[in-house]
Structure 1
Amino acid sequence: MKYVSTRGTPDLGQFSDVLLMGLAPDGGLAMPESIPAFGPADLEALRGLSYPDLAFAVMRPFITDVPEDDLRALLHRTYRSDVFHSADMTPLTRLGDSQLYLLELSNGPSLAFKDMAMQFLGEIFEYVLERRGEVLNILGATSGDTGSAAEYAMLGKARVNVFMLSPHGRMSTFQQAQMFSLHEPNIFNIAVEGVFDDCQDLVKAVNADAPFKARYEIGAVNSINWARVLAQAVYYFKAYLALNLAPGQPVDFSVPSGNFGNVFAGYLAKSMGLPVGQLIVASNENDVLHDFFSSGTYHVRPAERVAMTSSPSMDIGKASNFERYLYLIADRDGAQTRTWWEGVGRGEPVALHGSAHWDAVTASEFRSGRSTHADRLNTIRRIDREYGRLIDPHTADGVLVGERHLRPGVPMVCLETALPAKFGETVQEAVGRIPGRPERFLNIEDAPRTFEVMPNDVQVLKAYIAAKLGALKGEVSPTR
């Protein structure tokens, strides 16, 4: 399987190449040359597989440059019950006798859904880098959960260093403690004076400097990395198979979404032949995605207009993975996608309503909705009262918006994105008690923290990266 750029570059190499690449040289995102499809018989053959074997079946068509036995071994090392604290990896729980189901994705090391892909990245990075005799310096941006998931996945990886940007003071107390309490020689936490989109723009600016990127061997773990999207597609298959539906019967998914990576993984699964009906994009007050799916116009929200909310991992005004969706809507027209996205970079909207492209959007069966702080509190309280189940505020966004789009006889699977413990203040406000947490995270807020506060300045960031990597090689003195 070869990969191409959403902006037209025809040959980016194979899976291992795009794994280490981050952004494509033309600024676009990696996409497979084609999307293999599973027929009804193929889907039936997946029933009863363990999670790692299911992951192999789903991912193998896209990863053809890794020997079959090696890939199987990698996936079995990744998806273990002692890592994800469940033999089922992603248990599917029905809420009472309703049509609502929770897909539990938050039992991993960082208590967030991003562990499902990030643990795979840790294993595949180590494998590919070892084979190539290379090192990789990961530069990432997080609105809360990507950072800790990436850092836990890369602990002890001798060939990987992590530079993680986060918006200063805009994560939950637990999220900050989870990241900043790590004191590892290959982990560097940077709190940027700005919002998540500023962090994301800094990552893109560094990637756009080709000589710097090459000299310092910069890679990515954000959802722009194709491997993450691919790994996340697996649990859509897992949820569908767990429902034991009749062949071809559809299932709807509601996905809390800010950067569009998690829900795009569902669209990938649908494009592969999984009988997915509606894909519900659940937004918080930062509702640029809801605006698009309800009006046909996508308009980036500038940093000063990104609200600070109680579902902070979705406090995003520019959804990076949306470019992959536009690329497919444009029938893989890289030139058209480049035109749209370069316009986005200039602050121009992507206006599709009434066009042939909007017909493609409609056919893709995306739906959307918006939730507020009051909605989240009410939903957390109601789900706890009616079903005895505590959910975090992001999952509450997904449940509420999913309920609005229920269809008779069609299951609605809501993707759990984090455990309530990560957002204890909001959950306590809703139900009057502090949610429980795994013993390993007791009193984590009191742990010493190591991080660097930095202005929103790409030159300052580059100098910091150069100094730290030079120090690791013994070339210069550390800056702290």
Structure 2
Amino acid sequence: MQYASTRGHTAAQNFSEILLGGLAPDGGLYLPTTYPQVTDVELDAWRKLSYAGLAFEVLKKFATDIPEADLRALAEQTYTSDVYKNARSDESAAQITPLRVLQDKNGHKLVLQALSNGPTLAFKDMAMQLLGNLFEYTLAKNGAELNIFGATSGDTGSAAEYAMRGKKGIRVFMLSPHKKMSAFQTAQMFSLQDPNIFNIAVEGVFDDCQDMVKAVSNDLEFKNRQKIGTVNSINWARVVAQVVYYFRGYLSATTSNEQKVSFTVPSGNFGNICAGHIARMMGLPIDKLVVATNENDVLDEFFRTGIYRVRKSAETWHTTSPSMDISKASNFERFIYDLLDRDAPRVAALFKKVETEGGFDLSGKPGSDGDEFSKIAKFGFVSGKSLHADRLQTIRQVEKEFGITIDTHTADGIKVALENLEEGVPMIVLETALPAKFNETIKEALGRDAERPAGFENIEALPQRFDVMTADVTAMKAFIAKNTGL
């Protein structure tokens, strides 16, 4: 399996090479030159597998340069009930990503797929735990080290840091928007005292953090000298690890490969739902991929109109589903690459226009950049958005009708999913986090605190260690260099 950049860089790359590299040298994102296909025979066989066994079967289609025995061992090391011990029961811990039917009325079936049983209580653990083990394995084979430079709007950072704690040859430099995460999210990251973890609170929004990660990654001399890699979803390995739970969700919700399901995915940076797009391109019988946004509705606007218009920092709302407070979706480029029939020069030109003019227009109207909007339905995408009042109402509704408490982002997903139910097609909503991470809003909605898993009772009271910096790339490079000694 070989990989190429969405912007045209075609030097042959294998999975291990792009694992450590992040962005391609031309600033594009890596994708396989062709998507591996899954047969009905494979799907039937995969129904019987454990989550670790399924992860191995999916991963081996992409990581063909890693010996299968090693890849199987990495999957089995990662996906265990001990790692996902925050599950609500021993049975669901063994399942890793259990399903719960919320509604099954008149052929309209709504299902919740739990993805938040990992060590940081968020779906990012599903990929990040594997990424940590893959990094350690690859670095050990080459006697190398890696300085991870990433950005988070709340959950990626803690998932990455918990996955990389104590890993040999790895340091983590994680940017987050200063005072724009929940108290729990902030404490979960900043309370870590491990010497290989560096938390930097940036005076700005998530997009400012993400822009700095890309700027540093595009400085190839600095990137190579400082051995910079990334754990954000621009890293292909993270996306492909997320592909696995789409297969698990489908196989758990159906009994026959003749059936289709749809997925609703709360989305800000397009990484989570991009994995669903990959699964669909591999042949998984997905009907619709429903993008659910919050007030920061860049993606919803595109899937409704064909216009991709990024917002400036001042136009990015700080909301009660803060992990989606993103106005420049970095993974979106992978979908556009497929939408444009893999025309890399055109993709490069459009995303150059994003940098210079703030967006592009594929609506097909006079003066637009193309007419691909009419092709979006072929890929199964639809969208909707949820506001603060909507998520409060959805949290109350799910508590009242089904007796469970959901977090704010999952509430956005359920609200939009209910608007897109179709008879005979189960709708699976991907849970994003446990409600304890957003207690302020749970208390507003329900008048009580969210339940906390053992070990997290007083996390906000722990001592915190972090640096506050401005969105200055030069200063950030100096900070990295100072703390790596390279």
Q: Give the TM-score range, shorter chain.
A: over 0.9
- Give 2:412's aligned residue: 397
* 1:191-230 → structure 2 map (5 Å cutoff): 191-230=201-240
Q: What amino acid maps onto 1:88 in structure 2?
A: Q
Q: Which stretch of the first structure deviates more once superposed, 32-41 or 420-429?
A: 32-41
- Give 1:90's aligned residue: 97
Indicate if the aligned counterparts of 1:6 and 1:334 stay in contact, CA closer than 8 A. yes
Q: What amino acid maps onto 2:416 in structure 1?
A: V
Cα offset for 1:172? Answer: 0.1
The secondary structure found in structure 1 opposite 2:112 is strand
Match among 238, 258, 275 for residue 248 of structure 1: 258
Cα distance in structure 2, aligned partners of 1:350 and 1:356: 11
- Give 1:29's aligned residue: 29
1:436 aligns with 2:451: yes
Match among 260, 272, 276 for residue 286 of structure 2: 276
* 1:24-173 → structure 2 map (5 Å cutoff): 24-85=24-85, 86-98=93-105, 99-173=109-183
The secondary structure found in structure 2 opposite 1:83 is coil
- Give 1:477's aligned residue: none
Match among 295, 310, 314 for residue 285 of structure 1: 295
- % identical equivalent positions: 57
Cα offsets for 1:243-269 (capped at 9, x unmatched): 133322110100000000000100100
The secondary structure found in structure 2 opposite 1:65 is coil
- Give 2:323's aligned residue: 313
Indicate if the aligned counterparts of 1:2 and 1:11 stay in contact, CA closer than 8 A. no
Indicate if the aligned counterparts of 1:135 and 1:160 stay in contact, CA closer than 8 A. yes
Cα distance in structure 2, aligned partners of 1:158 and 1:270: 36
Cα offset for 1:332? Answer: 1.2
Indicate if the aligned counterparts of 2:305 and 2:373 stay in contact, CA closer than 8 A. no
1:304 aligns with 2:314: yes
- Give 1:476's aligned residue: none
- Give 1:377's aligned residue: 392
Q: What amino acid maps onto 1:75 in structure 2?
A: A
Indicate if the aligned counterparts of 1:12 and 1:30 stay in contact, CA closer than 8 A. no
1:468 aligns with 2:483: yes
The secondary structure found in structure 2 opposite 1:87 is helix
Cα distance in structure 1, aligned partners of 2:449 and 2:48: 38
The secondary structure found in structure 1 opposite 2:384 is strand
Aligned residues: 471
1:367 aligns with 2:382: yes
Cα distance in structure 1, aligned partners of 2:39 and 2:104: 31
- Give 1:352's aligned residue: 362
- Give 2:344's aligned residue: 334
Cα offset for 1:33? Answer: 1.1
- Give 2:422's aligned residue: 407
Runs (4+) off by over 4 Å: none
Cα distance in structure 2, aligned partners of 1:422 and 1:375: 19
Cα distance in structure 1, aligned partners of 2:312 and 2:255: 43
Indicate if the aligned counterparts of 2:351 and 2:359 stay in contact, CA closer than 8 A. no
Cα offsets for 1:126-166 (capped at 9, x unmatched): 00000011100000000000000000000110111000000
Q: Which stretch of the first structure deviates more once superposed, 124-133 or 238-247?
A: 238-247
Indicate if the aligned counterparts of 1:40 and 1:248 stay in contact, CA closer than 8 A. no
Indicate if the aligned counterparts of 2:408 and 2:441 stay in contact, CA closer than 8 A. yes
With structure 1 as the length reference, what TM-score do the two structures score? 0.97
Cα offsets for 1:272-296 (capped at 9, x unmatched): 1100011000000000000000011
- Give 1:451's aligned residue: 466
Q: What amino acid maps onto 2:75 in structure 1?
A: L
Q: CA RMSD in A?
A: 1.0
Indicate if the aligned counterparts of 1:5 and 1:12 stay in contact, CA closer than 8 A. no
The secondary structure found in structure 1 opposite 2:429 is strand
Cα offset for 1:96? Answer: 4.5
The secondary structure found in structure 2 opposite 1:425 is helix
Cα distance in structure 1, aligned partners of 2:60 and 2:15: 10
The secondary structure found in structure 2 opposite 1:413 is strand
Q: What amino acid maps onto 2:409 in structure 1?
A: H
Indicate if the aligned counterparts of 2:311 and 2:358 stay in contact, CA closer than 8 A. no
User: Structure 1 residues 12, 299: CA separation in 2 closer, same or farther (over 3 Å shift)?
Assistant: farther
1:6 aligns with 2:16: no
Cα offset for 1:353? Answer: 1.6
1:182 aligns with 2:186: no
Cα offset for 1:357? Answer: 2.2
Q: Which stretch of the first structure deviates more once superposed, 339-348 or 318-327?
A: 339-348
Indicate if the aligned counterparts of 2:149 and 2:173 stay in contact, CA closer than 8 A. yes
Cα offsets for 1:378-420 (capped at 9, x unmatched): 0000100010010000000000001100001111100000000
Q: What amino acid maps onto 1:73 in structure 2?
A: A
Indicate if the aligned counterparts of 1:175 and 1:422 stay in contact, CA closer than 8 A. yes
- Give 2:432's aligned residue: 417
Cα distance in structure 2, aligned partners of 1:277 and 1:90: 21
Indicate if the aligned counterparts of 2:102 and 2:402 stay in contact, CA closer than 8 A. yes
User: Structure 1 residues 352, 456: CA separation in 2 closer, same or farther (over 3 Å shift)?
Assistant: same
- Give 2:334's aligned residue: 324
Cα distance in structure 1, aligned partners of 2:442 and 2:451: 11
Cα offsets for 1:16-73 (capped at 9, x unmatched): 0000001100000011111011122221121110101101111111101100000000
Indicate if the aligned counterparts of 1:137 and 1:218 stay in contact, CA closer than 8 A. yes
The secondary structure found in structure 2 opposite 1:62 is coil
With structure 2 as the length reference, what TM-score do the two structures score? 0.96
Indicate if the aligned counterparts of 1:291 and 1:298 stay in contact, CA closer than 8 A. yes
Indicate if the aligned counterparts of 1:393 and 1:426 stay in contact, CA closer than 8 A. yes
Cα offset for 1:12? Answer: 4.5
The secondary structure found in structure 2 opposite 1:36 is coil
Cα distance in structure 2, aligned partners of 1:348 and 1:463: 29
Cα distance in structure 2, aligned partners of 1:346 and 1:111: 38
Q: What amino acid maps onto 2:62 in structure 1?
A: F
